[in-house]
Amino acid sequence: MSPAVRPDAHPAPVETERLLLPRLAHAHTGDLAKIYEDVAVARFIGGPHLTSDATRAQINTFEAIWHRRGYGQSAVIEKSTGQMIGRVGLHDWPAWDAVELGYVIRADRQGQGFAREASRAWIDWAEHELDSDALIAVIQPENLASIRLATQLGFQHGRPDVTPKGVHVQIYRRELESRRRHGPGSRDDTSG
Ligand SMILES: CC(C)(COP(=O)(O)OP(=O)(O)OC[C@H]1O[C@@H](n2cnc3c(N)ncnc32)[C@H](O)[C@@H]1OP(=O)(O)O)[C@@H](O)C(=O)NCCC(=O)NCCS
């Protein structure tokens, strides 16, 4: 059973300095499918299997997680243009009883710190609201951009594993420090 959010949890992050982070929903299917059309973007996250039908199905899965868990993937909307430039957020891995931080940024917006900015908002939320000791990042060993980002975000290299679809990955792990400091069921600001 994957971790749930605390019963009195604050809402998931909705924006950062440069980004809006609305809940990823069916309305984003077309934009997300276009982002996945770029082979360089899709290479490590499903490649040619990421058709528009598959994108729609994936968004269904993400929406179900939002509904069940109270967290999920956000669309990443650039405030300066109003355009959708990716998705970032949390995802359940029932096989490993863990919650993953996942991120995808449109090719022409990569390298500008957008994935890091949105990821930090989600990590900050998870630190306080997620009933779990850690987040994981599930990364193929050749995905250097993702490894670099995960490392910057405080993930540490972990064990090799194979996903249920048979993909060889490395499981990176980031402890949720706030929960470790204050113990299960506590939040920084509730003691006083
Ligand atoms: C991984 C990904 C989300 C990073 O997004 P991004 O917005 O470009 O990342 P940021 O700009 O926030 O960069 C974070 C760090 O990663 C580094 N980085 C970004 N792309 C890189 C690349 N191709 N190779 C090496 N490092 C890279 C950045 O330089 C930065 O480090 P720095 O501050 O030391 O320079 C993006 O490359 C992507 O969408 N990839 C395709 C989808 C994917 O594989 N997702 C991950 C699945 S596990």
Domains with residue ranges and CATH for the chain = 19-186 (3.40.630.30)
Which run of H or of E encompasses 63?
helix 52-69
* 180 φ, ψ (degrees, to nearest 5): -70, -40
pLDDT in tens, 2-46: 667 777 778 898 999 999 999 999 999 999 999 999 999 999 999
Give distance in angstroms: CA of 105 to centre of ligand 1.
Answer: 8
The pLDDT tens digits for 117-164 are 999 999 999 999 998 899 999 999 999 999 999 999 999 988 999 998
In one-letter notation, the amino acid at residue 35 is I
* Predicted pLDDT at 147: 97
Q: What tokens appear for 151 in the block? A: 């490392």
Please give the sequence-ordered ranges of beta strands (E in DSSP) within the chain, or none if there are none: 19-20, 73-78, 84-93, 98-105, 134-139, 160-162, 168-175
**pLDDT score of 63 more than 70:** yes
Greater pLDDT, 184 or 174: 174
What pTM does this model have? 0.91
Distance 95 CA to ligand 1 centre (A): 26
Assess whether pLDDT exceeds 70 at residue 95: yes
pLDDT tens profile 98-118 = 999 999 999 999 999 999 999
Between the CA of 141 and the centroid of ligand 1 the distance, in Å, is 14
- Say how many Å lie between the CA of residue 110 and the centre of ligand 1: 6
Best residue among 108, 149, 161, 173 to mutate for probing ligand 1's pocket (most ligand atoms within 8 Å of CB) is 149
Bridge partners, 98 (sequence order): 93
- Bridge partners of 50, per DSSP, are none
* CA 105 to each of CA 20, 34, 69, 94, 125: distance values in angstroms, whole numbers, following the listed order: 14, 12, 24, 25, 20
Whether ligand 1 lies within 6 angstroms of the CB of 38 is answered as no
Residue 189 has pLDDT above 90, yes or no: no
What DSSP letter does each residue of 136-184 carry, written as one string? Answer: EEEE-TT-HHHHHHHHHTT-B---EEE-TT--EEEEEEEE-HHHHHH-T
Decide whether any atom of ligand 1 lies within 6 Å of the 125 Cβ: no
